[in-house]
Copies of this chain bind each other. A is one copy, B any other.
Amino acid sequence: MLHSRLFVKSKKELPEDEVSKNAILLHKASFVYKEMSGVYTFLPMGLRVLNKIENLLRKHMDLVGTEIYLSSLAPKELWQQTGRINEVDVLFKVSAANENSKNKSNNEYILNSTHEELVTPIAAHFAQSYKDFPVDHPLAFYQIQTKFRNEPRAKSGLLRGREFRMKDLYSFHLTKDDFEKYYESVKQSYINFFTDLQLGQDLYITSASGGDFTEQVSHEFQIMCDAGEDTIYIDEASKNAFNKELVSTENEIKFGVKFDALEQVTACEVGNIFTLEDKFTKAFNLQYTNRDNKKELVPHMGCYGIGTTRIMGVMVEKFSDDSGMVWPKVVAPFDVEIVSLFKELGDDVYVESKSIYEKLKASYDCLLDDREISVGQKLNDADLYGIPVQIIVGAKNLERGVVEVKVRKSGRILEVQLNEVESLLKTLWPEVF
């Protein structure tokens, strides 16, 4: 991609009330544009990061479930059937905006903040017999979608939004044992995903309350992060962790821990997994015919979330330095940026940069900075964007047949012959994570 085709430029001034590191860096680099508190537009490079996070997640989720795309609008009746229309504080409804409208429809719909009310009737539509609940690959649907929540305190950039993107997965099981096996397999796939994102070492799988309707604990996937909203108690040795809400004498006995002996850290919840028991299967009468040809209620449903835009925010919080963001290759907007320090379009430096770009783009996602701006601004922008490898093409070096290759993470700069750029890149990836 040519930088001139992105149509965006880095910005010095900040929107009002923007204080969190991820919001500031993503705004300055023009990865996102703030529409209002908790609502962001994704600009070209931000969208590329988001797509890479979601496609990586999709790869892991395809191993445990089947992708669908549930509607965002729901009839009110579905939310009345579970009673949650009066329980979920953050729920939005939609209605006609235009009071003068010729369209006399006074219909109101729910804008789903979560999708149990939609996915359970679909399970009931297709699963009627015990044969529809195979044990070796349980009935499980997932989706990756924009979600809406009427957050009273939308803040911290991408960490808490009124509009955000999320993966949600729902599973249905006939026995507790089946559910628990599946639950563990999803837990493992989450660990694999966060490890791929290079977030593994700061990940704590945290026991937390399972909610009002169950005695079971749920598990939160928490990334240690100063900008987070949660306090968790961690045991570094065992990697066991507990949400602050669990701290009680009763739970010290239940879990066999002394909370006072654990370290308290601030963390951001990027995923969660929990049982819904039969709350929704009961509400929507999800029954199946068992081996004795008798009807029974499906007793176990699980729910598994991951916030993809929030992960993007957390990664900026974790992977940045004084000069800007530092993306791991797996989700970087581009693998390589060619920082072309030409004097004018068409000069030798420009031509050589273009030639490197054309050669590399078959194997790598490449950005070529082809803008007619100052050398300083190009170098500053490159550090701000945080693309893992920069190839800096300047006139003086070019006379000697070399370019500089800068590893954004370590700051290491290597001087390399023009014909050795490609072979160097192959050796570099382990270093740039």
Contacts and interface: CB of A to CB of B under 8 A. Distances in A.
Interface of A: 4-9, 11, 30, 33, 35-36, 39-44, 47, 50, 66-75, 79, 85-105, 107, 109-111, 118, 122, 125-127, 131-132, 134, 137, 139-141, 146, 148, 150, 152, 162-163, 372
Contacts of A150: 94, 96-97, 101, 103, 105, 107
22 contacts: A7-B132, A7-B141, A8-B126, A35-B71, A36-B75, A40-B71, A41-B69, A41-B70, A42-B68, A44-B66, A50-B69, A72-B163, A85-B97, A89-B102, A91-B101, A92-B95, A92-B97, A93-B95, A94-B94, A97-B110, A103-B152, A131-B372
A111 B94 contact: yes
Contacts of A134: 4
Contacts of A162: 73, 109
Contacts of A126: 7-9, 30
- For A6, A122, A139, which residue has the most chain B Cβ atoms within 10 angstroms? A122
By secondary structure, the A interface counts as mixed
Contact of A35 (B73, B93, B132, B163): B73
Nearest to A96: B150
Contact of A111 (B99, B111, B122): B111
Nearest to A133: B7
Nearest to A79: B97
Contacts of A50: 69
Contact of A67 (B47, B87, B109, B152): B47
Given A30-B126, A35-B75, A118-B35, A68 B94 contact: no
A359 B92 CA distance: 49
Nearest to A91: B97
Contacts of A137: 4-5
- For A5, A8, A95, A97, which residue has the most chain B Cβ atoms within 10 angstroms? A97
Nearest to A95: B93
B91 A96 contact: yes
B72 A148 contact: yes
Contacts of A67: 44, 47
Nearest to A93: B97
Given A7-B66, A107-B150, 20 more contacts: A4-B137, A5-B66, A7-B126, A7-B140, A8-B126, A36-B74, A39-B74, A41-B68, A43-B122, A44-B67, A47-B68, A71-B163, A85-B98, A90-B103, A91-B96, A91-B97, A92-B95, A92-B96, A92-B97, A101-B150
